[in-house]
Structure formats: C-alpha cells, structure tokens
Structure 1
Amino acid sequence: MPLARHLLGPALLVATAALLAGCAQPGQLGHESEAAPSASAAPAPTTEPALPGVPDVPVTQAGSDAQGRLDRPVDISTPGPAELLVRTEVLQPGQASGWVRHPGTVITVVRSGTVTVQRADSCEPRPFGPGEAFFLEDGRPNELRNDGPDPVVLTRSELLAPGAPEREPVEPAC
C-alpha cells in the first residue's frame, strides 16, 4: 500500500496530462492548426496580469512538447482535489521572477537558455539548462533569474488547490 500511495500523485499528473492532450483539437493547447503560423514565425509573447509585488512574466505559445530530466526523486501528493496548470513562460536577459512561493507543487522544464534557481532553504543559486527540469516544493520561497544573454523559455506544470493563486510574492529569503 505505501508504494501505491507514493505513485498516486505522479500517476494522477500523467493521467490528467494524457486526458487533456487527448481532448485537444488543432489550434488548442499549443497544437498547430492549418491556420497557425510556421515554427519560424514565433508568436509574440503576451504578458499575464501582474500580482502585487510580482513582476510581469511574458507568456509564449512555444508548443506543447517539453521534456526534461529531474536530478532527484519527486514525491507529489495533494490533500484533496487539485487543478493542473501548465504554462510556458519567457524570462528575458536580466529578468527575475522576484521572490515568490507557489501554493502547490511545481515541475519546470527548461526549453532554452539557462535559468538560475535560488531556493530559500539553501540560498545557493543553481543553474539549469535546456533539457533539465527542477522541482519546487509546495510553499517554499524561490526566485528564478535569467543571468545569461539569451531568453529563457520554461514550461511549468503546477498542481494547485482549486481557486488558489499560481504564486504569491514573499520577502527575499536570501
């Protein structure tokens, strides 16, 4: 029984993603349609409404396929119903997320560029490059920065309690 409980979170995440992908029609969820521009003509990023104290982060439609490798085991569980958010974001050179906490678990894949992740529990900045992924635990403050010369494209998957915000600003931890 402990093994089944340990696998329930990842199984739920995979099943939800498969269900959403299976229901997508051309032009939805990042799938290209006949009317969609070619891959060489990337759409201009849009900006999500800012939360107080959290900088605007451009959101791009970079497609739906992102794969990255996590360097350690991940244990995901929710105390009740959850919403799955999948979002692709762009950090321009010199841009940072500001210190935030996510009221849910987050797995992020780096699609391009190099992002620096700083977590409150260690304060040691750690770079992640293309094809790498990182896990942010529920409620632990962190900051993401683009210290490089090129834009960083990230795709994150987040499990949230229904109605919870994606992120909340916090005081700098390091």
Structure 2
Amino acid sequence: MRRTVRMLAVCGLAAVLTGGALAGCAQPGQLGDPVEKTTTEAPPVADLAPAPRLPQLLGSGLVEEPVQIGTPGPAVYSVRTATLPPGVSIAWHRHPGTETTIVTAGAVTLQLEDACDPVTFGAGEALFVADAVPHTLRNDGDVAAELVVAYLLAPGAPDQLSAPAACPAT
C-alpha cells in the first residue's frame, strides 16, 4: 500500500508541476490495491499440463540369428528419417557399425550378402543389418517408403561405405 500511495503522490505532484494529468500514472488497482474481482481464477497449472504419452511402437522385427554387438571403444548412436521414392534403390553398401531400420509407410526390399533372396518389409516392420554386412535396399512399390533409420557407429565414422554387388540383380 505504501508503494501505491507514493506512486500516486509522485504522479499527483508531477501532474501539478506539468499543469495537468500525466500519462502512465497508475490508476487505483493497478499497483496492488484491491479491486473488485470480475473474472474467475484459472485452474491450477497441473490441470493444464498434458497427460504423459507412453512410447509409441513404430515397428518391430525379428533377428533370426544370435546378435552380439560390441564396439572397440566409444560409439555414436544416431536416428534419422528417410524417404525412398517408388522405383529408387540404394546401391550396395555397408556400414561400419549396425543399422536398424523401421518402415513407417510403404515398403522396401532388402538384399543381404550371403542371403540374396530379397525380403520385403512393410509399414510397421523393422529390419536389422549387422556390422559391415553389404546390402542394398530398394522401393519396388508405387508409394514412397518412409523410414526411421538408426546407426551405431564409431565416432567420426561415415554412415556408409560403397560395397561391390554381392548378389545378382533381381
């Protein structure tokens, strides 16, 4: 209340000195004086916070052989999205680490070295490529394939390296 009285006194004095009202001077109720309440109180902040969302499963897959992942030192894990348009293929390549890819829309066909029979993965399915295994990925469908790709690589290693074709073209 003292603050209000002082401000009003200063504004009143300034108004007298300048010969009129002074713009920017506080009106009753603007500096903490009680005024009649005309609105309802807002709900507590906790009521406004959205409910936590549980993790959403984007896809899953089965690795049919035992998997052992080890690194000789630190590793960098990166996750990206990618789009593979219809009719497009990624040339034979390998990664200096592992790759896990989830297909979230469309479909892709994977060929692995030593497993040349192509395997198609649709939306909601995931594929796994072990460390340094040459492979190719293509979209034989009519719609774009949307992918979430995760790599586990040594720090500073390239995402992928070229590899010679390991299977005859299909």
> TM-score category by the smaller chain?
0.5 to 0.7
Q: Do the aligned partners of residues 91 and 129 (structure 1) sit closer, same or farther apart at CA in structure 2, a change above 3 Å counting?
A: same
CA deviation string 1:131-172 (max 9, x = no partner): 110110100100000000000011111100011000011111
Within 5 A, what are the aligned runs for 1:59-138? Answer: 67-72=58-63, 74-138=67-131
Scaled by the length of structure 1, what TM-score is found?
0.60
Structure having the larger proportion of residues in strand: 2
* Structure 1 outlier segments of 4+, above 4 Å: none
**Number of residue equivalences:** 111
| Unpaired stretches in structure 1, ≥5 consecutive residues | 1-64
Structure 2: distance between partners of 1:66 and 1:119 = 26
Scaled by the length of structure 2, what TM-score is found?
0.62
| Unpaired stretches in structure 2, ≥5 consecutive residues | 1-55
> Aligned-residue CA RMSD in angstroms?
1.6
SS in 1 for 2:115: coil
CA deviation string 1:44-90 (max 9, x = no partner): xxxxxxxxxxxxxxxxxxxxx66211213643222210011111111
Indicate the percent of aligned positions where both proteins have the same amino acid. Answer: 48
Q: Which of 1 and 2 has greater Rg? A: 2
SS in 1 for 2:116: coil
- Structure-2 residue corresponding to 1:166: 159
Q: Do the aligned partners of residues 103 and 154 (structure 1) sit closer, same or farther apart at CA in structure 2, a change above 3 Å counting?
A: same
Structure 1: distance between partners of 2:141 and 2:68 = 31
CA deviation string 1:93-134 (max 9, x = no partner): 000011000110111100100100000121110000011101
